Structure 1
């Protein structure tokens, strides 16, 4: 029987017990909100990137070192912590990551306040080290949330879950992009017995988001459950999914998890495609504030266009996440490769259009740049959602989803690291010496988007469009 037919059959046979969908929604909301709060402590540095560079005399390459340290340590953490998550349990892993990121964000803000007298090299080492440790810590989040939700969602529902979950995690990005500019100019919070005034320091973005993480994670740990059986429900999973309906509390040995997931060729092909997503997605996320500041002289603390762009970038990411999940589930019956291939191809076209238009002074404007960035964000986050979440769940199954997600996501952040030091070095070398100027930023992304297209086309061809489980 074909795999596509299996997915269709499972979808038709899904019958959840009374109250299950509501309880799953509660679980899903708390887990999603926790992971969203991670993003507040992850994307805060991009809001203040020009200020960090100016305060410590860093060039693009040096700032890229700080960002790459975070992303490459995150990559290592994804690989390692995926194994730990399959042993610890999903919400336990997310708690560990949250506690550590709270401590390390506060440390980053404190060091940047106290280290103004240090030389460039010393401050660069300090900030890159703290950010690297924070990257490793946050790598407990994605495997944890994927493992939890693999147990709660049968395969036929995972594409839509991945899409809506992609929407939820963007709430953290929306929050920090919207609140961040106000924290840069100072903030007055009215209370019943007076007001609280927050002074205008960019370090605020490393002190206040951890408070939100602490509150949300506490609620998640109290009320969320690792799998439906803990909440008193039994859920039918596909018969061909690893350990679909056996002892759900059983902890598989690490060597078994590693050998099983690592032996699936499509895990590695999908991971390589996700590497390409990592380059493009992180190239946008890391440099968009710097781009508007350096290319157009627009400060996020004072420019309405930049603030609106910051709010809309994650919203376009939400649209991409939801639409890609729904399309793969409903129109392609759980087949991820055809959808991902089309999305990579569309992304390549958008990036090339942006590069050509914004390198031509007759067309280039800040508004056009904002629109093109939003289109790139839409396509990049579509592949991010469908490959990093839905495909990882399909490939790993409920017992090994943590490690499968870790492997695939680790490759994304290897690519993300390249968007730090690699793109930073490219910008330092070419912006002032080439007629392309900052348009080289877009040309840097295009080859990786094209490679992602080819890799997903191979998966599509190799599997004849069927859903992929290795």
Structure 2
């Protein structure tokens, strides 16, 4: 009988999240792999390149709250599919900016990076939302770590490939190929992704298992009672922004993303300009720390869920890998004191491994987001975290311009890891799901956020 043995459709959903996040990060990283060639071809300095690197982050951050509202209003499937198609389309268009004059090309590239960021805005809140719907609490850390580890897998898989494409065919082809892959995936997404109760491949046994162990299987249906979908109330945002636990999580994610965006933007340039590697070699070398980041990312989720199953509190199970991993990632500063190439790569790999272990912020979001606004809660988290996508490339660009080297830039990256540790130790406190209070219908004081 169908109901006697559970299906495992949630693992197919997780595979789709992993693949789409791989494409997502590959499209973000196209600009860094092409960065040195772009800089030479367009004749721009490090500060200008830093601003181009940051363009994605401006619109990505600004698009978070609207993206989260759209997810909660219309559901993850449609909103995410539209995002995949358009960020891929705008990636393709970047391959044609070289047809213009230098000034026009710089403006066009900046604008297209803005559009890519805007289209990608719902992606990670959508991931967290889908994981919260499809996975029980005790599997959520591993599921979140797996989709989040795709950022490293994207570098492992595509950095050597994109480096070879730039070397062999020119930087334009990186954008054309990666954008084309994304357009095709948006079609596959529509065919495979459904809400748990509506998926044609799931049986009752799996659905009951998910629902009875903390999975929010009715997340989208809950907002559709009586045929009316309600968007999130403005007061919900205020409640999240006055919750100490969430503020600590937001600060921690900002600092963690500071490390991420060094690797996504300046790291290949560091290898070429500071360490004298060719772009082809830099593409391959950049993938080595990413392998370690991928392993660390998956391991962090596995460790966290294992601690939870062994009876440790949710707070300890999430915080222990985060704190330990981020302390390990401060070893990036040691690269300033070694000249041997394999040691530089080794310290970078160790730092990225630690960052991977500690990157459990999305699991924490799935554990803490109010069920009424899971998309918006993830968007707020992602908005604060990705302020680093704006600040990190620009700050590093100014540091390099002022000092002529990457030494203080690496200190800046290591300091981000340390601040994230302090945030989780001092500010976050106990990790619990936030429960929202409905504001009074007429007059009265606005409700405060409470945790239970």
Q: TM-score, normalised by structure 1?
A: 0.82
2:396 corresponds to which of 411, 414, 423: 423
Q: CA deviation at 1:262?
A: 4.2
Check whether the contact 2:89–2:183 (CA below 8 A) recurs between aligned residues. no
Matches within 5 A, 1:137-176: 137-176=119-158
Q: 1:394 to 1:18 in 2, by over 3 A?
A: farther
Which residue in 2 is equivalent to 1:351? Answer: 332
Check whether the contact 1:150–1:397 (CA below 8 A) recurs between aligned residues. no
Once the two structures are superposed, residues 225-271 of structure 1 have per-residue CA deviations (whole angstroms, 9 ceiling, x without a partner) of: 13345445434547999897895463443216545544543222101
Q: 1:243 to 1:216 in 2, by over 3 A?
A: closer
Which residue in 2 is equivalent to 1:96? Answer: 82
Once the two structures are superposed, residues 135-169 of structure 1 have per-residue CA deviations (whole angstroms, 9 ceiling, x without a partner) of: 11111211222211210012221111112223345
Q: 1:125 to 1:228 in 2, by over 3 A?
A: same
**Aligned partners of 1:418, 1:136: CA distance in 2, in Å?**
17
Q: 1:157 to 1:459 in 2, by over 3 A?
A: farther
Q: Determine if the alignment matches structure 1 residue 79 to structure 2 residue 58.
A: no
Matches within 5 A, 1:363-378: 363-378=338-353
Q: CA deviation at 1:420?
A: 0.9
- What runs of 5+ residues in structure 1 fail to find an aligned partner? 1-15, 187-199, 358-362, 432-436
Q: 1:278 to 1:31 in 2, by over 3 A?
A: closer
Check whether the contact 1:343–1:382 (CA below 8 A) recurs between aligned residues. yes
Q: Determine if the alignment matches structure 1 residue 203 to structure 2 residue 172.
A: yes
Q: Determine if the alignment matches structure 1 residue 278 to structure 2 residue 257.
A: yes
How many pairs were matched up?
418
CA RMSD of aligned residues (A): 2.6
**Aligned partners of 2:351, 2:126: CA distance in 1, in Å?**
28
**Aligned partners of 2:189, 2:161: CA distance in 1, in Å?**
23
Structure 1 SS opposite 2:279: coil
Q: 1:254 to 1:425 in 2, by over 3 A?
A: same
Q: TM-score, normalised by structure 2?
A: 0.85
Check whether the contact 2:165–2:173 (CA below 8 A) recurs between aligned residues. yes
Q: CA deviation at 1:85?
A: 0.9
Which residue in 1 is equivalent to 2:12? Answer: 26
**Aligned partners of 2:52, 2:248: CA distance in 1, in Å?**
28
Check whether the contact 1:392–1:405 (CA below 8 A) recurs between aligned residues. yes
Which residue in 2 is equivalent to 1:360? Answer: none
Q: 1:65 to 1:17 in 2, by over 3 A?
A: farther
**Aligned partners of 2:193, 2:214: CA distance in 1, in Å?**
27
Which residue in 1 is equivalent to 2:418? Answer: 450
Matches within 5 A, 1:69-468: 69-111=55-97, 113-115=98-100, 117-119=101-103, 122-186=104-168, 200-231=169-200, 233=204, 234-235=207-208, 236-237=210-211, 247-248=221-222, 250=224, 251-255=229-233, 258=237, 261-301=240-280, 303=281, 306-332=282-308, 333=312, 334-335=314-315, 336-348=318-330, 350-355=331-336, 357=337, 363-384=338-359, 386-387=360-361, 389-431=362-404, 437-459=405-427, 462-463=429-430, 467=432
Q: 1:18 to 1:444 in 2, by over 3 A?
A: farther
**Aligned partners of 2:424, 2:274: CA distance in 1, in Å?**
34
Once the two structures are superposed, residues 292-314 of structure 1 have per-residue CA deviations (whole angstroms, 9 ceiling, x without a partner) of: 1111221122x3xx343222232
Check whether the contact 1:243–1:399 (CA below 8 A) recurs between aligned residues. no
**Aligned partners of 1:157, 1:376: CA distance in 2, in Å?**
26
Check whether the contact 2:133–2:216 (CA below 8 A) recurs between aligned residues. no
Check whether the contact 1:151–1:228 (CA below 8 A) recurs between aligned residues. no
2:41 corresponds to which of 30, 34, 55: 55
Q: 1:65 to 1:246 in 2, by over 3 A?
A: closer
- What runs of 5+ residues in structure 2 fail to find an aligned partner? 435-450
Structure 1 SS opposite 2:292: helix
**Aligned partners of 2:114, 2:64: CA distance in 1, in Å?**
13
Structure 1 SS opposite 2:278: coil
Once the two structures are superposed, residues 283-328 of structure 1 have per-residue CA deviations (whole angstroms, 9 ceiling, x without a partner) of: 1221111111111221122x3xx34322223221211111111222
Q: 1:337 to 1:90 in 2, by over 3 A?
A: same
Q: CA deviation at 1:172?
A: 2.9
1:39 corresponds to which of 16, 20, 25: 25
Q: CA deviation at 1:277?
A: 0.8
Q: 1:228 to 1:123 in 2, by over 3 A?
A: same
Q: 1:375 to 1:246 in 2, by over 3 A?
A: closer
